[in-house]
Amino acid sequence: MDALFEAASVARQNAYAPYSRFKVAASIRTPSGSIYSGVNVESASFPVGTCAEAGAIAAMVLAGERQISEILIVGEGDALVTPCGACRQRIFEFAGGGDPRIHVAGPGGVRTSFSLHLLLPHAFGPDLMPP
Ligand code: THU
């Protein structure tokens, strides 16, 4: 957990959030033990911006990995920085039939953890697609 938090905290410094000023980073651990991180990347055309979780998933896929064991998201503020709805779906795509833990952290460390199933019940995913 320390390594995940450290990776996300370092990554967060490079988040590109000039519009919201809300820097977020996400770090994924895969079954191999590797860690992949991503940050939010905003755009002057607001809807084009991407979440930190999407960046971390892209890094994982680029490295040839396909399964999320756990993911940690770090951001600031009083409210918990839980993944948005679209990112819950993105995480589910790579849950590998399991139920990855989602750790929500602030700058001081992990604040709480959820199972993906709790955040995205009755999800539609790869198993429901025809072959
Ligand atoms: N954001 C993330 O990157 N991940 C989350 O889990 C919550 C929100 C970003 C999107 C946008 O750049 C900024 O935070 C404000 O919504």
pLDDT in tens, 41-56: 999 999 999 999 999 9
Using CA positions, which residue lies closest to atom 4 of ligand 1? 51
Which CATH number is associated with domain 2-123?
A: 3.40.140.10
| The model's pTM | 0.97
Answer whether 83 contacts ligand 1 (Cβ < 6 A). Answer: yes
pLDDT of the residue at 1: 78
Domain boundaries, the chain: 2-123
Q: 13-39 burial, b if ≥16 CB within 10 A, otherwise e? A: eebebeeeeebbbbbbbbeeeebbbbb
Amino acid at the residue 30? T
Question: SS3 sequence, 22-81?
Answer: CCCEEEEECCCCCEEEEECECCCCHHHCECHHHHHHHHHHHCCCCCCCEEEEECCCCCCC
Segments in the chain below pLDDT 70: none
Pocket of ligand 1 contains residue 73 by CB under 6 Å: yes
The answer to whether residue 70 is catalytic is: no
pLDDT digits (tens, 9 = 90+) for 103-114: 999 999 999 999
In this structure, the residue with its CA closest to atom 8 of ligand 1 is 51
The whole-angstrom separation of Cα 71 and Cα 51 is: 13
Alpha carbon 13 to its chain's center: 16
Spacing, Cα 86 to ligand 1 middle (Å): 11
Ligand 1 binding pocket includes 119 (Cβ within 6 Å) = no
CA distance 95 to 87: 12
The rounded distance, in Å, linking the Cα atoms of 66 and 96 is 8
